[in-house]
Amino acid sequence: MKQSLKGIVVFIFMISALFGQTYLINESFGTVPPVGWSNGTILPTQGTIAQDGDLKSLNFQEEKDYAVSIVTPPVTDPDRITFYHSTDNVNAYKGTFNLSYSTNINGPWTNITTITSTSQNTFTLSANEISGIVSGSLSGTYYFQLERTGGKNSNSKNLFIDVFQVTQSIVSSETALSGFIAEPDAASPVQSFTVSGADLTGDITLTPPANYEISTGIGAGFSAANPITLTPSGGTVSSTTIYVRLKAGLSAGSYNGENITISSTGKISKTVACSGDVRQSINPSISALSNFNYDIGNGPSAEQNFTVSGQDLTGDITLTPPSNYEISTGSGAAFSAANPITLTESGGTLSATTIYVRLKAELSPGSYDDETITISSAGKVSRSVSCSGSVRPIILNVKVFLEGGL
């Protein structure tokens, strides 16, 4: 029977995860003490009636001079505690049951709720929203103590506790996203996480930090100024994908540890820390070359050069010359105004490579200014090097000698 119950518990957990709830503790007391739980002065025994049908529960037994207690494993950011309770003789029942919390396994303990069971052999649900009991909620790591107070009395009867659950209402699939790489004039590629919620009494709000943008769609709607609101249905927000990117227009540098805050009324907020860098992927050593000049019939011009390097690349770098200039990776040969140059990256990096440039031969007299060598790579912001020069016409100096004087 217990094996079947395990299957039921796993199924319930899967359904709860689907609809946005995380069980920090989900205990049906198939063994006493459960794994990871700590004994009190007198340990409860295993009961023979249960809420979940397995005939096993936690029995705070009758007629004890001392308190009967047990302590849960530590949990982080609990929002809600539920359990079922019953007694085997309600008319004669004496004593109370306390549920308390502490940041230390040995206390001191602060009471959350006190139960005097009124249901004989029938289980009653006790549901406790932490925010309604503890000012500011229990953000952090906590232990819970289940205790039946001491005091021997001939009328005291057994108290049974079953299906003890501690839940977390806001669930994020990630606590941190890193490795965002953006260029000063472009946003980074997108990363994502999911958020869901349960036992909610208000919307879930996601607030981005100053230098990151969030959206519920991968291609549009990004904003670093406006929060995203997820509206629950019946207290639940199903798993929703949130897309994140490092925004465009930032100065070069690191943007680390900036938090997306995920909050809802009365629930413990979660954060997703974002870290990344802004840096230029394609790096020419210069943005312009000038004074490419020659006299008509004496071209091409003298060579000039610059270097180009790259980082964070996902493809090769291509340099495309303008129509009146030629480029080459070697001085004195293999110049072309028709064919681009391809520089192959290795591991996302291209070391500094020299590119030679000249104004090509056989051009007509005139100016050839602001013609651009385009430097590009897949998914990166293109760069350019502007070229300016001229072809000079031949100027004849003619001297005229006239006979006679005027």
What are the tens digits of pLDDT across the range 196-231? 999 898 999 999 999 999 999 987 788 777 899 999
Give pLDDT tens digits for 70-123. 999 999 889 899 999 988 876 666 667 899 999 999 989 999 988 877 777 889
Domain 2-168 grouped into CATH 3.30.2040.10: no
- Measured in degrees and rounded to the nearest 5, phi and psi for residue 5 equal -60, -40
Could you give the strand order of the β-sheet that contains 228-230, starting from the edge strand earlier in sequence? 176-182, 270-278, 253-263, 204-207, 228-230
Please state the domain extents for the chain. Answer: 2-168, 171-278, 282-392
Average pLDDT over residues 252-269: 94
Q: What pLDDT score does 333 carry?
A: 79
CB within 8 Å of 259: residues ≥ 6 apart: 209, 271, 272, 273, 274
Among 48-57, 259-268, 330-339, 363-372, which range has the highest average pLDDT?
363-372
Query: In CATH, what class is 171-278?
Result: mainly beta
Contact of 206 with 262, CB cutoff 8 Å: yes
pLDDT of 5 > 60? The answer is no
Q: What pLDDT score does 10 carry?
A: 35
- The SS3 of residue 210 is coil
User: CATH topology of 2-168 equal to that of 282-392?
Assistant: no
Tokens 């907020």 belong to which residue? 269
pLDDT of 39 > 50? The answer is yes
Determine the Cα–Cα distance for residues 256 and 250; give it in Å rounded to an integer. 13
Average pLDDT over residues 274-278: 98
Average pLDDT over residues 291-296: 97
Q: What pLDDT score does 402 carry?
A: 59
pLDDT of 1 > 50? The answer is no
Q: What pLDDT score does 62 carry?
A: 73
Among 59-68, 103-112, 148-157, 238-247, which range has the highest average pLDDT?
238-247
pTM over 0.85: no
pLDDT bracket for residue 21 (50, 70, 90): low
Let me know if 270 is exposed, middle or buried by CB neighbors in 10 A (0-12, 13-18, 19+): buried
Q: What pLDDT score does 2 carry?
A: 36
pLDDT of 53 > 50? The answer is yes
Q: What pLDDT score does 104 carry?
A: 92
Higher pLDDT, 404 or 61: 61
Determine the Cα–Cα distance for residues 273 and 78; give it in Å rounded to an integer. 21
Domain 282-392 grouped into CATH 2.60.120: no
pLDDT bracket for residue 401 (50, 70, 90): low
Higher pLDDT, 20 or 207: 207
107: left (phi over 0), alpha (psi -120 to 50) or beta: left
Name the percent of the chain lying above pLDDT 70: 86
pLDDT, mean over the chain: 87
